[in-house]
Amino acid sequence: MDVSTVVMILAFVAAYFVWFRSITRSLKGPKGPRLWPVLGSLPGLIENNSRMHEWIAENLRACGGTYQTCIFAVPFLARKQGLVTVTCDPKNLEHILKVRFDNYPKGPTWQAVFHDLLGQGIFNSDGDTWLFQRKTAALEFTTRTLRQAMARWVSRAIRDRFCPILKTAQLEGKPVDLQDLLLRLTFDNICGLAFGKDPQTLSPGLPENGFALAFDRATEASLQRFILPEFIWKFKKWLRLGMELNLSHSLKHVDDYMTNIINTRKLELVSQHDGGSLHDDLLSRFMKKKESYTDEFLQHVALNFILAGRDTSSVALSWFFWLVTLNPKVEEKLLIELCSILIQSRGCDTSKWLDEPLVFEEVDRLIYLKAALSETLRLYPSVPEDSKHVIADDVLPDGTFVPAGSNITYSIYSTGRMEFIWGDDCLEFKPERWLSEDGKKFEARDQYQFVAFNAGPRICLGKDLAYLQMKSIAAAVLLRHRLVVAAGHKVEQKMSLTLFMKDGLKVNVQARELGPILDKIGGTGKAREGLITNGISHAHVEVIN
């Protein structure tokens, strides 16, 4: 190697390090993850792979709520595709999700990853395509009949499947994986609500279902694409290798299943005019509209809502039950509220409480339960991180410059764990923070401080349905059973787009003894009769507060 070549190499290296120093100084959040030459923040990502969400939260605390990093510190990438802005500041979230909504779409990377499974469905589209579906779906989600349909599906699954399985586990003294049971329960419910067919995954023996397996495999294979550069997974797709081959097979199964559903439903809706059965699922509602939708569009409508509605509620309930086992005082308050309402609505004979799951009017009055579920979602949001693509150069409210072509991640997990948002007790499980001072009313927080259901124009349409389902399931379990985490079982987060428990939630199911709770809220006999006559608010609030 001659001298001139050596000089050129040294000059190149020197120029790179001058650039590297300037780029590290220009990024927002000097106390964020360490940047390495060329590799950027990749070593930190690898090192903290098993605790990614906590690592992001630690960096955000150190940087005051926002930092910027480069996945690869390479000049032609660092100012655009390689630059990632990470934030949990509510002011920035409002700017991204509402004020400059059009400047922060899901973007081409997200859409490419999920296109094969979700097409141009509502959760994988932007612009006019998204807006049309949003308006159409919003009309349906505001109707009382859809809420009533959800209540029927949930009640049926709780009464006929979920409770009997837990009862069997109690009698046999065998632990169960509660997360798995909840995933099956919510999958059956969302399929019923989305396209009116029950896959019966939550049945005795917990059978495998072809559609459920294919859908899970397709989702997992799609998520794998996030790990790889786009050109690599597209090359593997072209060659039909690895997960891409699995994705192709799974999508074929899903497509065949949904095609059969749609064709059958078309015939049923025609016969409905001749006295056939009534369908009130989401798919049927779209098919009944005067607009003519393609079968592909209808399939994507159903699959998008299954993806959004299945894992989110079951994962939230898993963390809720785990937190309840760790906080017996919260469990007691939940039972006091539940029993107080049932005394008023069903009388003092507790045997009548177990005949049927709670009806909508009873579920709607469970204020402390809603607070506890909201507190769970604050600490353990079902979708812990989300990202957006930046269309044009912009400046966030905290002064952070974000260049066009870069990505911005907002950490929902971190937003619920920041002292400057929630106070010094932000890491405590404290449902009372969601109640009015007298404990009688649920008080929602600003949607940009509590982003578990997204916020702005894309806020979750199914939020009320999710609370209805979660409250119904939680009430049914609390009323009948006391759950204890199985000895030796360790609860850990699984690093994925949804905050699953890595090894599920293994619990022992014990019988619930309501006597002590009933004594606390009014004793027996005439005392309970007086409680019913005078209303429950005094007894309820006295214990809750």
- Judged by DSSP in three states, 441 sits in coil
CB neighbourhood size of 380 (10 A): 23
Distances (CA, A) of 34 to 11, 25, 41, 344: 25, 12, 6, 59
Read off the tokens for 363. 């579920």
Read off the tokens for 431. 């449902």
> Percentage helix, strand, coil, to 5, in the chain?
60, 10, 30
Sorted by sequence, the CB contacts under 8 Å of residue 304 that are 6+ apart come out as 118, 121, 122, 123, 124
Task: Say if residues 406 and 424 touch (Cβ distance below 8 Å).
Answer: no
Question: Is 88 among the annotated ligand-binding positions?
Answer: no
Smallest Cα–Cα separation from 483: which of 207, 183, 179?
A: 179
Distance CA 198, CA 187 (A): 9
First-to-last alpha carbon distance for the chain, in angstroms, is 80
β-bridge mates for residue 411, sequence order: 385
Half-sphere exposure of 430 (CA within 13 A, CB side): 12
Task: Say if residues 93 and 410 touch (Cβ distance below 8 Å).
Answer: yes
C-alpha 133 chain-centroid distance = 21
Task: Say if residues 313 and 170 touch (Cβ distance below 8 Å).
Answer: no
Residue with tokens 């790889």: 228
Distance CA 165, CA 112 (A): 40
Q: 177 in the Ramachandran plot: left (φ > 0), alpha (ψ -120 to 50) or beta?
A: beta
Task: Say if residues 333 and 148 touch (Cβ distance below 8 Å).
Answer: no
Task: Say if residues 356 and 74 touch (Cβ distance below 8 Å).
Answer: no
Task: Say if residues 66 and 92 touch (Cβ distance below 8 Å).
Answer: yes
β-bridge mates for residue 40, sequence order: 36
β-bridge mates for residue 435, sequence order: 442
Sorted by sequence, the CB contacts under 8 Å of residue 433 that are 6+ apart come out as 371, 375, 422
Binding-site members are 460
Binding-site members for heme are 460
